[in-house]
Structure 1
Amino acid sequence: MSWAGPYQYEIGKSPDKPETPPEVIFDEQIPTLLCLSHLRWSFVYQRPQHLMSRFARDFNVLFFEEPIPTEDAQPWLEVRPEENGVQVLVPRLPQDCEGETALRVQRDLLDGYLKKLGVGELMLWFYTPMALGYAGHLEPSLTVYDCMDELSAFRGAPPELVERERELLKRADLVFTGGYSIWEAKRELHDNAYPFPSSVDVAHFAEARRTQADPDDQAEIPHPRLGFYGVIDERFDIALVAEVAKQRPDWQFVLVGPVVKIDPADLPRRDNIHYLGGKTYDELPRYLSGWDVAIMPFAMNESTRFISPTKTPEYLAGGCPVVSTPIKDVVRTYGDTEIVHIAETPEAFIQAVDKALADAEDRDRLLKTADDILGDMSWDHTWALMKEKMQCAK
């Protein structure tokens, strides 16, 4: 089957669209920043959401996601305005629309919507090189590649990703990276690459320092609690958590987040391991407030070689000591801070948690040290520096 435009552009939230669709706000007098992302806006609130919400103060921000199958006979574009001014665009493609046909349809949907809006100056912001398949024909005034992770090392990565990234690096005016380790790799491939490691919304997570009621699904869990929030995927060291939980049955592991790309049946199941599922960004400080130690049990493999976890400064902003496996960017940034403890083996992890529990008892020192570490690690600061680089590159 072939599909021919013009396609539909439907405003509202799928699958149950509101009776009164939210208003699409677009100012033709200011530039448009089109963000092309492999991450969904509503999945986990992280780097793209923090940055695009701030860029929406100066630009029309369009956040174009990967397609979602639809039972409709014709493709259409879901347009979902967010409260912060960002427009989320989701291509909805029929089940049998695949391969080159799917890329053409996404290209047509995107072109049609840009024309409908009357976009003048256009800038592109890539999170995934695979977006070149449907956006590579556009002629932006500026192209930014914000390389959060080494996506080619992730489970299920398309085989053509490496070649697409090479092409994107040739086109990009600027390359930003999510940490120093990945910057050291990308700066060999691009002359205008800058490291922008994990930042933090300090005020948001500092709410965890305030004594407050536990969420219902955490309230009955005893102390001490070792907490983690984030995506539970191939980067999560299942074996490490299982062994530590076995050796210390008095410790309670509170794991908050969706399970992705791994079989839930492979997760360790013990009375002291609690899977609470995904939570919203606004809910996270309440969970963090009830933890004694925050943990980052990342596996040491190719998928974690270049990561710079945003969780580290968030946990510290919440006033919680941290125990992490030896992720390179965590070690180099926080390894000598005395409140972020590094451990790889189960035995070392247990010793590190004991030290972290002792940290928590001297709360004044813990909070002062955390505040000294955080300094100007704010998303506002990162956004301002990125904007400055963009102005210089145009």
Structure 2
Amino acid sequence: MSNFSLSKFKQLPLVMTSMSRWDGDFSSASWSLAKTFAKDQVVIYVDYPFTLLDFFRERKKPSVKARKRALLFGENCLKPLTDYGPNLYALTPPLMLPINWLPPGWLYRKLAGWNDRRLSRQITKGLRHLGWSDFIFFNSFNPLYLSSLPTGFSPKAFIYQSRDNIRALEPYLRKHGSYLEIDAIQEADLSLATSRLLKKELEELSGNKVAYFPNAADFNLFKAAYEADLPLPRELDGLPRPIIGYTGNICHRIDYEIIQEICEKNPEKTLVMVGPRNHWGHTDIDLDALPNLHFTGPKKIEQLPAYLAHFDLLVLPFLCNKVTKSIYPLKINEYLASGKPVVATPFSEDIRSFHPHIRLEADKQSFVQAIDEELAQDLPEKAAKRYQEAAANTWEGRVSLFWKLINQTFSL
């Protein structure tokens, strides 16, 4: 345990790792937290590492080309992100060994240790470049790297955050991530979970205390969808109204039968999905055959309020299953900040906690009926209450909670 005072902790740089990159296709909780911490202290946001195999497969992508010299030679690995203020940096790790194909055991552990030492040296190099030796290490749901800290990599505080039930995710992640996450929780000074069920499960699996640390929203960004007269995104120009909207990854979590039902039972309405399309392999429904379903592709988080402002109703049609029952969805507070009515499935205890500010329906027929009812019954008073709910769930509030938990953990 550190003998630092809380004020000294707040002055240290924070190094954050996650399974997303700062310039990825969609917003993430880790990136939002990093930007919020960086308002008051130095933050080094560590990109999810590329392996040698990733580099070969993706070498022609602009995101890889932009990082090429850092990946291959370690040059310019620390990039100041001045668009987000003076304190935020992105760090590109060197290429890692592709080892996920190995079975659990001594060889995987040995090579994972080599990767971790390589990554930690790059982080230390970045810290020294900025004139720092002491730091806080925040692993925000990336158990495949630095779940256990190598010798010589000694932060003043080690925080691990779980944001999803990795034991129910795709085989690639759960193969090693499921047990490495428990390693991280057992080694960390403070462990966090974004949902109530996830907190309970991780405490049972690790034998350690895990704090509830829910997701939030960049309220100052998303409140513009409620308060301001934002320009109409070009993809929405001329679409029949009302427009039903969804933002986020279009992936394995979504109930595509509900999507189909919305479109087929509401031919006069438009459904627009904003985000990267990763649904192939998760549904046999030909989404492109639905004439009133439109895809915009991924958008930067700064662009999303304009879409929310011009949607008439928002949907969160997640499947109710083992994967989703421990999710506190990042987008719910973004939705509520817009003041628009929301219809969701009751997939987790956390999403159910937002009732009565949102409508919850489990089956596709009830879901579609709820859309009509919420559109017909929407009132300015209801919109204001949704907006106020989002205002109580901000990243600034979560950062305050983080320091409170640090204070409790280290008995400062």
TM-score range, shorter chain: 0.7 to 0.9
State the match for 1:49 in structure 2: 31
The alpha-carbon deviation at position 241 of structure 1 amounts to 0.6
Q: What is the total number of aligned residue pairs between the two structures?
A: 360
Q: Contact 1:31–1:120 (CA<8 Å) still a contact in 2? A: no
SS across alignment from 1:303? coil
Aligned AA for 2:98? E
Q: Contact 2:166–2:174 (CA<8 Å) still a contact in 1? A: no
Q: Contact 2:116–2:146 (CA<8 Å) still a contact in 1? A: no
Name the CA distance, whole Å, in 1 between partners of 2:359 and 2:234: 30
SS across alignment from 1:35? strand
Q: Deviations over 1:321-359 (max 9, x none)?
A: 000011213443123x1x411112221111111121123
The alpha-carbon deviation at position 40 of structure 1 amounts to 1.3
Q: 1:123 to 1:212 in 2, by over 3 A?
A: closer
Name the CA distance, whole Å, in 1 between partners of 2:148 and 2:158: 15
Name the CA distance, whole Å, in 2 between partners of 1:317 and 1:74: 43
Q: 1:173 to 1:107 in 2, by over 3 A?
A: closer
Q: Contact 1:234–1:303 (CA<8 Å) still a contact in 2? A: no
Name the CA distance, whole Å, in 2 between partners of 1:167 and 1:272: 47
Name the CA distance, whole Å, in 1 between partners of 2:91 and 2:189: 24
SS across alignment from 2:183? helix
Q: Deviations over 1:223-252 (max 9, x none)?
A: 111100001111122222123212222221
The alpha-carbon deviation at position 365 of structure 1 amounts to 1.9
The alpha-carbon deviation at position 151 of structure 1 amounts to 2.5
Identity of aligned residues (%): 23
1:132 to 122, 139, 146: 146
Where is the helix percentage greater, Structure 1 or Structure 2?
2
SS across alignment from 2:136? strand
Name the CA distance, whole Å, in 1 between partners of 2:252 and 2:12: 38
Name the CA distance, whole Å, in 2 between partners of 1:174 and 1:393: 7
State the match for 1:17 in structure 2: none
Q: Contact 2:320–2:348 (CA<8 Å) still a contact in 1? A: no
Q: Contact 1:294–1:321 (CA<8 Å) still a contact in 2? A: yes
Name the CA distance, whole Å, in 1 between partners of 2:175 and 2:233: 42
The alpha-carbon deviation at position 158 of structure 1 amounts to 4.5
State the match for 1:35 in structure 2: 16
1:194 to 185, 208, 211: 211
Q: 1:372 to 1:194 in 2, by over 3 A?
A: same
Name the CA distance, whole Å, in 2 between partners of 1:265 and 1:92: 36
Name the CA distance, whole Å, in 2 between partners of 1:203 and 1:115: 33
Q: 1:264 to 1:56 in 2, by over 3 A?
A: same
SS across alignment from 2:92? strand
Unaligned runs of 5+ in 1: 1-28
Q: 1:258 to 1:372 in 2, by over 3 A?
A: same
Unaligned runs of 5+ in 2: 1-9, 60-67, 100-110
Q: 1:98 to 1:372 in 2, by over 3 A?
A: closer
Q: Contact 1:107–1:134 (CA<8 Å) still a contact in 2? A: no
Aligned AA for 2:242? P
Q: TM-score, normalised by structure 1?
A: 0.83
Q: Contact 2:135–2:155 (CA<8 Å) still a contact in 1? A: yes
Name the CA distance, whole Å, in 1 between partners of 2:346 and 2:269: 22
Name the CA distance, whole Å, in 2 between partners of 1:239 and 1:87: 42
2:308 to 283, 288, 301: 288
Q: Contact 1:173–1:393 (CA<8 Å) still a contact in 2? A: yes
Name the CA distance, whole Å, in 2 between partners of 1:75 and 1:359: 60
Aligned AA for 2:245? G
Name the CA distance, whole Å, in 2 between partners of 1:240 and 1:51: 32
Name the CA distance, whole Å, in 1 between partners of 2:238 and 2:200: 45
State the match for 1:122 in structure 2: 135
Name the CA distance, whole Å, in 2 between partners of 1:265 and 1:376: 36
Is 1:90 the counterpart of 2:92? The answer is yes
SS across alignment from 1:157? helix
Task: Show the 5 A alignment for 1:268-283.
Answer: 268-269=287-288, 270-283=290-303
Q: Deviations over 1:359-390 (max 9, x none)?
A: 33x2x222232145335222211111211221
Name the CA distance, whole Å, in 1 between partners of 2:14 and 2:404: 15
Stretch of structure 1 that moved more, 31-40 or 197-206: 197-206
Q: 1:384 to 1:107 in 2, by over 3 A?
A: closer
Aligned AA for 1:106? L
State the match for 1:3 in structure 2: none
SS across alignment from 1:140? coil
State the match for 1:113 in structure 2: 126
Q: TM-score, normalised by structure 2?
A: 0.80
The alpha-carbon deviation at position 310 of structure 1 amounts to 2.1
1:230 to 226, 245, 248: 248
Name the CA distance, whole Å, in 1 between partners of 2:303 and 2:181: 35
1:365 to 381, 386, 402: 381
SS across alignment from 1:66? coil
SS across alignment from 1:367? helix
Q: 1:262 to 1:87 in 2, by over 3 A?
A: farther
State the match for 2:74 in structure 1: 76
Aligned AA for 1:184? K
Task: Show the 5 A alignment for 1:18-33.
Answer: 30-33=11-14
Q: Contact 1:76–1:93 (CA<8 Å) still a contact in 2? A: no
Name the CA distance, whole Å, in 1 between partners of 2:116 and 2:391: 44
SS across alignment from 1:187? helix
State the match for 1:11 in structure 2: none
Aligned AA for 2:143? P
State the match for 1:347 in structure 2: 365
Is 1:384 the counterpart of 2:400? The answer is yes
Name the CA distance, whole Å, in 1 between partners of 2:350 and 2:375: 20
Aligned AA for 1:365? E
